[in-house]
Structure 1
Amino acid sequence: MSTIELQIRKDDLSITRLHEADDTRLADGQVRVRIDSFALTANNITYAAFGEAMNYWQFYPTGEDGWGTIPVWGFATVTHSLHPGVAVGELLYGYFPMASAVVLTPERLSPERFADGTAHRAALPAVYNQYFRSQADPLYTAGTEDIQALLRPLFITSWLIDDFFADNDFFGADPGVALLSSASSKTAYGTAFQLAQRDGIEVVGLTSAANKAFCESLGCYERVLAYEELDQLAADMPCVYIDFAGNGALRHAVHTRFTRLKYSASIGGAHVDQLAPSGAGRDLPGPRATLFFAPAQIKKRSAEWGAERFGERMALAWNAFTTQVTDPRAPWLRVEHHHGAAAVQAAYAAVRSGRGDPRSGHILSLSRG
């Protein structure tokens, strides 16, 4: 058998290729999993855009300079096992390459999860090395795999962003305004869903004119403005900026206009062709744009609350969010499936362009089984 993988040019994210290689023989303690399906969202494009700075390329190195594999979230089935604690047929949720299969080295097993002990991942953030065993995963519900793959990792980030700002009293912008760029993105509207539950915070979505109606339909933004409508907001209002777009020109406009900007959080790079260059924010007025790193907030809250309480609070928020998103009267998301190498390449190009329907959620598969 062989494994097929979608690889990306690190210096030009529009260039892709399909790489096929024979499966390697498993060593004792390893398992091979078939990657059944995975989600592709703007969040994964962010992984590529920040691949060098945040070490995302290091999770699944290609072994060839200039080419990388973007990590994705999805579900996989164990097809071969030389580990006594992991059975063939187990369903796993976790962080995989854009590929048809991958080899893992399970360690630190519990009924709910295990960690991948592959040597080159040892120094990478532990949260990305966890694989949840669906039979005992408290967030797993059979039949909702697509929604889980699309929204679970994004919503966890959204929930943590909201918690981070609340934990820091909104840096003095409470009462005040939270400005969210790329408001139609799934991580942005998940954050807006959480922020809208807090008294004293007006949640304002910034988006393209084409996506304005979609954002307004969600009901989690008190106001939605097109990017060119920033002047409709008072320049002296206390506010925080939560930047999912990474657009350098927009960031400059926000920092220049709002004289009481209390904090500027850089989350992603949805506008991949207009990303602010490294160091570009140092000369901007107001607070320096600071990259938000979700694993740091997970570590902090897990230490303060304990892992069990952390998981319970997150599960409650996740259930409330997915109930809203999947409400049949007005669903926020429509799942689209793409199977096979050509379809996966085409879906990647569409998501990278950022011009797709914001209501679409893309589920991909390179699996032959």
Structure 2
Amino acid sequence: MSTTTQLLVRKDDLASSKVRTADDTPLADGQVRLRIDSFALTSNNITYAAFGESMSYWQFFPTGEEGWGAIPVWGFGSVVQSLHPGVAVGERLYGYVPMASSVVLSPERLSPARFTDGTPHRAPLPAVYNQYFRCASDPLYTAGTEDLQALLRPLFITSWLIDDFFDDNGFFGARPGVALLSSASSKTAYGTAFRMQRREGIEVVGLTSAGNRSFCESLGCYHRVLGYDELDQLAADTPCVYIDFAGNGKLRRAIHTRFSQLRHDCVIGGTHVEQLAPPGTAKELPGPRATFFFAPAQIKKRTEEWGPDVFGQRMVQAWQGFIEKVAQPGAPWLVAQHHDGAAAVQAAYAQVLGGHGDPRIGHILSLSRG
């Protein structure tokens, strides 16, 4: 009998993890088993865990163990068993998977390019996370860049939507003005900056730690890079918006306290888990209340306004321009590092959770190899 190996984490203590291997259950009619060949692990996945309860991320892949969760990740896999007439063994897929060696899916609403997982418990969850892309017909797929796709594709789509959201809302009255992006070395932040730097009247300012400053400056997508303690280099009455990729409560307080013309505070992620502000803290700050950005809502809005074909074409065009820049010969923004096997995966998880490492390195993990 085949088995599945999975990395589980404590929902109330993300630093506690364990590896579990269990026998696979037989497939039911209409199901397929996907061998997960590789998946990316980024600070975005730590955000999924940090907001696992409030944003329902723990519900995608229930573990059956009280208190233990499976963090969703984005990866590639091959169908190794199929009891579905529309999905063949050997087909390659990209999508939302657990940190595991395999997963069982129930394909529904099949098209040449994708299908939806119809597993009942996923029905009430955001549809964007339940789609699996069939690589043979996926316009965003290229065979030679799977690692970069796993690392950047979901993040860049979020970046593209963030930029579109702010432009759609006229930067909330802060144009001309400044867009402040925290955690500027993170992939979602520099993807946003890559798009936003083209917006007329907006100075894109990256906020980062001293250790990541030179990396952020080398990207060329920020008009200016400042340390977290250098907010005083911007005038206090500067019209600005804050795009928070870190969840750092101390930094949020400093920004709200300094900038009298702060027009919008947009929460994207929570990678600084130990510094996440307690619930209610942000309500006490001057200026606009922090508002969580939910990418599926902007996808829904633009799909309705533009139509799905135009939405898809614009996204593909934006992605191709970004990936060309990231993978540029001689000076790539990101290089993949592989971690195969349970011990390596567990160690890589601890490293990413701790926020350590070179921002030029992207972590690609596999529990089906090694």
TM-score normalised to the size of structure 2?
Answer: 0.99
Residue 74 of structure 2 aligns to a residue whose secondary structure is strand
Q: Partner of 2:133: helix, strand, or coil?
A: strand
CA distance in 1, matches of 2:104, 2:176: 50
The SS at the match of 2:144 is coil
For 2:171, give the aligned amino acid.
F
* 1:351 equivalent in structure 2: 352
- 1:52 maps to what in 2? 53
Give the match's secondary structure for 2:6. Answer: strand
CA–CA separation in structure 2 for the residues paired with 1:316 and 1:33: 29
* Alpha-carbon offset, residue 368 of structure 1: 4.2
- 2:232 corresponding residue in structure 1: 231
Aligned residue type for 1:196: Q
Distance 1:5 1:20 in 2: 6
Is 1:176 the counterpart of 2:177? The answer is yes
What SS does structure 2 have at the residue aligned with 1:345?
A: helix
Contact preservation (8 Å) 2:37, 2:77: yes
CA distance in 2, matches of 1:266, 1:280: 14
Distance 2:100 2:92 in 1: 17
SS in 1 for 2:211: helix
Structure-2 separation of matches of 1:36 and 1:277: 38
Counterpart residue number, 2:197: 196
Matched AA of 2:4? T
Deviation at 1:11, TM superposition (A): 0.5
The amino acid of 2:109's aligned partner reads: R
> What is the distance in 1 between the residues matched to 2:279 and 2:128?
26
Kindly provide the amino acid, as one letter, of the partner of residue 169 in structure 2: N
Indicate the SS of the match to 1:143: helix
Matches within 5 A, 1:125-274: 125-274=126-275
The amino acid of 2:194's aligned partner reads F
Q: Partner residue of 2:317?
A: 316
Separation in 1 of the partners of 2:199 and 2:236? Answer: 23
Q: Which runs of 5+ in 2 are unaligned?
A: none
Aligned 8 A contact 2:179 2:202 in 1: yes
What is the rounded CA distance, in whole Å, between the counterparts of 2:70 and 2:81 in structure 1?
Answer: 23
d(CA) in 1 for partners of 2:162 and 2:369? 37
Which residue in the other structure is 1:100 paired with?
Answer: 101
Distance in structure 1 (CA, Å) of the matches to 2:176 and 2:250: 27
2:14 corresponds to which residue? 13
**Other structure's SS at 2:54 match:** coil
Shift of 1:224: 0.4
The Cα offsets for residues 37-64 of structure 1, whole Å up to 9 and x where unpaired, read as: 0000000000000000100000001111
Q: 1:279: Cα distance to partner?
A: 2.1
Which position in structure 2 is the counterpart of 1:330?
331
Paired residues of 2:247 and 2:277 also in contact (CA < 8 A): yes
Distance 1:270 1:189 in 2: 15
Following superposition, the deviation at residue 276 of structure 1 comes to 1.5
Aligned pair count? 369
Matching residue of 2:85: 84
Matched residue SS, 1:135: helix
Q: Which residue of 2 aligns with 1:292?
A: 293
Unaligned runs of 5+ in 1: none
Q: Separation in 2 of the partners of 1:270 and 1:357?
A: 15
CA distance in 1, matches of 2:355, 2:53: 21
- Find the aligned partners of 1:350 and 1:368 in 2 and give their Cα distance: 20
Task: Give the match for residue 281 of structure 2.
Answer: 280
Q: How high is the sequence identity, in percent, across the aligned residues? A: 74
Deviation at residue 277 of structure 1 after TM alignment: 1.8
Distance 1:111 1:190 in 2: 29
Q: Does 1:340 align with 2:341?
A: yes
C-alpha separation in 2, matches of 1:89 and 1:164: 39
Q: Distance in 2 between matches of 1:44 and 1:279?
A: 24
Separation in 1, partners of 2:211, 2:273 = 18
Q: Distance in 2 between matches of 1:212 and 1:311?
A: 34
TM-score normalized with structure 1 length:
0.99
Aligned counterparts of 1:330 and 1:68: Cα–Cα separation in 2: 38
SS where residue 283 of structure 2 aligns?
helix
Give every structure 1 segment of 4 or more consecutive aligned residues whose post-TM-superposition deviation is greater than 4 Å.
none
Q: Which amino acid letter does the alignment assign opposite residue 245 of structure 1?
A: A
Task: Output the CA distance in 1 between the equivalents of 2:248 and 2:62.
Answer: 28
Secondary structure of the residue aligned to 2:229 is helix
Q: What secondary structure does 2:241 align onto?
A: strand
Shift of 1:231: 1.1
Shift of 1:329: 2.6
Task: Report the Cα distance in structure 2 between the residues aligned to 1:327 and 1:97, rounded to whole angstroms.
Answer: 31
Q: RMSD in angstroms over aligned alpha carbons?
A: 0.7
Deviation for aligned residue 1:280 = 1.6
Code of the residue aligned with 2:300 in structure 1: it is: K
8 A Cα contact 2:345 2:365, kept in partner: yes
User: Is contact 2:340–2:369 with CA below 8 Å preserved after alignment?
Assistant: no
Q: 1:104, 1:14 → 2: CA distance?
A: 29
